[in-house]
């Protein structure tokens, strides 16, 4: 039986449901000429999905489009098209994949053209590239732009002044533009209901991610985690669909724990848990399954990852709060992982290693992503010093297949697992 056939056999109902949800959003986006729906383009970190939906608008996320094209092996040509148009090799490959997609008719995964956005809504949460990306999109589409400037939490603390600054922008800049573009008057009760649904889904997502505290872990919180965060990090946070999805997912994980099962991989249940890892940095999307296979073939399970926190650091206690709706949106944006300083990120990694009984830290440094890559070597050294656990460093890229060297990654991983084994032997001696 080939790998594709095996993957179909082992899919659980939550995996099928998630795929259907994402497909429905693309169908809704590509049907706006018939439905008259307005579209806001925004980014995953700090996205204001509950607010966007309260105006009856659809949410289109450029990073999600790039990821889809990467996993379908279409991003490489798009990136080269963008480079032929003058974009540097060092520019974020999400951006170039998006620009390349536009140059080829802006076709969605369902084969239909994407609509131009009616509003570009940027919540600036630590990634300067987002600002330049939206400049390019505004030049391309000539549509309305709303900029929500989110102060960087340089001291690792959200202050009242920071919160008030973001709230003021939401009330005076963002909401009026959403009203004007959508033609819908702001309804705070509708927003409250969306936030209430968000909090329900966030509770179950956190439970799922923290199930990896079990030894053995029933999930992989990096590769498998990508599927778990899909609905809540895209266009479904704040919907009943997301609540239902996470309830189903939680039930599946509870059943795996009862049966003593490990994570599901593309080739079925993972038979052995030999290594427990914490991973920093996004995955490589163009060779996602090949990359994952290098881990599960060695019995390596990722029990916690920072990538699954880019759309919200819910496991540290934050929930969207319907009783304080605008302030809650501000706190969400301020607390995003990419808006946290390096000492705070180091502390998170240190805590994850201890809390999840991990054998060590692995950093996947992304060539074109400064938001994650800046300071990672220093972070690695500090975590290693604090925990006494081995750490390692590999390099790939987001959606550019030219920067995934399977042989190099595999060699580094094998060397790292040998280092973990040596540490264990020395401790047991």
The pLDDT score that the predictor gives to residue 12 is 76
Domain shared by 242 and 156, yes or no: no
Domain shared by 138 and 282, yes or no: no
Determine the structural domain holding residue 285 and report its residue range: 192-428
The pLDDT score that the predictor gives to residue 383 is 97
User: Of 151, 185, 219, which marks where a domain is finished?
Assistant: 185
Q: How much is the mean pLDDT over the chain?
A: 93
CA distance 131 to 117: 16
The pLDDT score that the predictor gives to residue 149 is 94
> What's 384's domain CATH number?
3.40.50.11900
User: Of 185, 203, 220, which marks where a domain is finished?
Assistant: 185
The pLDDT score that the predictor gives to residue 422 is 93
Reading across the β-sheet that carries 39-41, which strands appear in turn?
58-60, 39-41, 119-124, 144-149
CA distance 391 to 382: 10
CB of 298 closer than 8 Å to CB of 275: yes
Domain shared by 231 and 267, yes or no: yes
The pLDDT score that the predictor gives to residue 10 is 58
Partners of residue 394 on adjacent β-strands: 364
Domain shared by 150 and 174, yes or no: yes
Give the DSSP H/E element, type plus range, for residue 232: helix 223-233
CA distance 51 to 166: 14
Domain shared by 29 and 107, yes or no: yes
Domain shared by 196 and 55, yes or no: no
**What are the pLDDT digits (tens) for 10-63?**
567 888 899 999 999 999 999 999 999 999 999 999 999 999 999 999 999 999
Domain shared by 177 and 283, yes or no: no
Q: What does the DSSP assignment read for 97-146?
A: HHHHHHHTT-B-TTSSBPPPPSEEEEEE-S-HHHHHHHHHHHHHH--EEE
CA distance 282 to 261: 26
CA distance 134 to 152: 19
Nearest to 43 by CA among 115, 124, 112, 100: 124
Return the biggest CA–CA distance within the chain. 71
The pLDDT score that the predictor gives to residue 103 is 87
Domain shared by 121 and 10, yes or no: yes
The pLDDT score that the predictor gives to residue 4 is 40
**What are the pLDDT digits (tens) for 174-219?**
999 999 999 999 999 999 999 999 999 999 999 999 999 999 999 9
SS3 per residue for 7-66: HHHHCCHHHHHHHHHHHHHHHHHCCHHHHCCCEEECCCCCCCHHHHHHCCCEEECHHHHH
User: Of 166, 185, 204, which marks where a domain is finished?
Assistant: 185
Domain shared by 29 and 174, yes or no: yes
CA distance 235 to 60: 7
Residues of the chain with pLDDT under 70: 1-11, 429
Copy the structure tokens of residue 97.
Answer: 């994949």
Domain shared by 291 and 360, yes or no: yes
Q: How many domains does the chain have?
A: 2
> What's 100's domain CATH number?
3.40.50.11890
Domain shared by 341 and 410, yes or no: yes
The pLDDT score that the predictor gives to residue 9 is 43
Neighbours of 20 (CB within 10 A): 11
CA distance 287 to 293: 10
* pTM recorded for the entire structure: 0.94
Domain shared by 179 and 203, yes or no: no
């Amino acid at each position: 039986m080939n790998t594709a056939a095996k993957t179909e056999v082992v899919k659980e109902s939550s995996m099928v449901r998630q795929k259907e949800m994402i497909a429905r959003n693309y169908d809704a986006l590509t049907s706006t000429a018939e439905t008259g729906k307005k579209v806001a383009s925004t980014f995953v970190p700090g996205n204001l999905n509950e607010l966007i939906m309260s105006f009856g608008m659809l949410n289109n996320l450029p990073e999600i489009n790039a990821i889809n094209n990467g996993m379908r092996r279409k991003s490489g040509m798009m990136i080269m098209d963008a480079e032929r148009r003058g974009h540097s090799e060092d520019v974020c490959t999400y951006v170039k994949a998006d620009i390349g997609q536009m140059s080829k008719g802006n076709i969605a995964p369902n084969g239909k053209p994407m609509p131009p956005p009616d509003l570009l809504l940027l919540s600036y949460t630590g990634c300067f590239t987002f600002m330049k990306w939206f400049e390019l999109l505004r030049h391309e589409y000539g549509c309305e732009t709303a900029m929500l400037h989110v102060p960087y939490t340089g001291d690792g603390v959200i202050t009242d002044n920071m919160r008030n600054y973001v709230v003021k922008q939401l009330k005076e800049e963002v909401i009026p533009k959403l009203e004007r573009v959508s033609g819908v008057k702001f309804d705070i009760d509708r927003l409250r209901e969306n936030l209430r649904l968000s909090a329900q889904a966030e509770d179950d997502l956190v439970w799922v991610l923290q199930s990896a505290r079990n030894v053995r872990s029933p999930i992989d919180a990096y590769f498998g985690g990508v599927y778990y965060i899909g609905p809540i990090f895209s266009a479904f946070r704040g919907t009943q669909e997301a609540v239902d999805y996470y309830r189903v997912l939680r039930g599946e994980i509870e059943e795996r724990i009862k049966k003593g099962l490990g994570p599901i991989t593309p080739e079925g249940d993972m038979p052995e848990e030999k290594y427990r890892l914490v991973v920093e940095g996004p995955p490589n999307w163009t060779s996602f399954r090949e990359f994952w296979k290098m881990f599960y073939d060695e019995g390596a399970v990722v029990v916690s990852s920072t990538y699954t926190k880019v759309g919200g650091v819910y496991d540290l206690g934050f929930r969207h709060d319907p009783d304080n709706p605008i302030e809650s949106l501000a706190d969400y944006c301020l607390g995003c992982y990419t808006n946290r300083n390096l000492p705070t990120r180091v502390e998170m990694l240190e805590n994850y290693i201890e809390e999840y009984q991990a054998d060590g830290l692995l950093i996947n440094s992304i060539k074109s992503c400064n938001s994650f890559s800046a300071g990672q070597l220093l972070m690695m050294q500090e975590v290693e010093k604090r925990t006494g656990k081995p750490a390692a460093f590999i390099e790939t890229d987001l959606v550019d297949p030219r920067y995934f060297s399977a042989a190099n990654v595999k060699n580094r991983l094998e060397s790292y697992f040998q280092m973990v084994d040596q540490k264990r032997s020395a401790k047991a001696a």
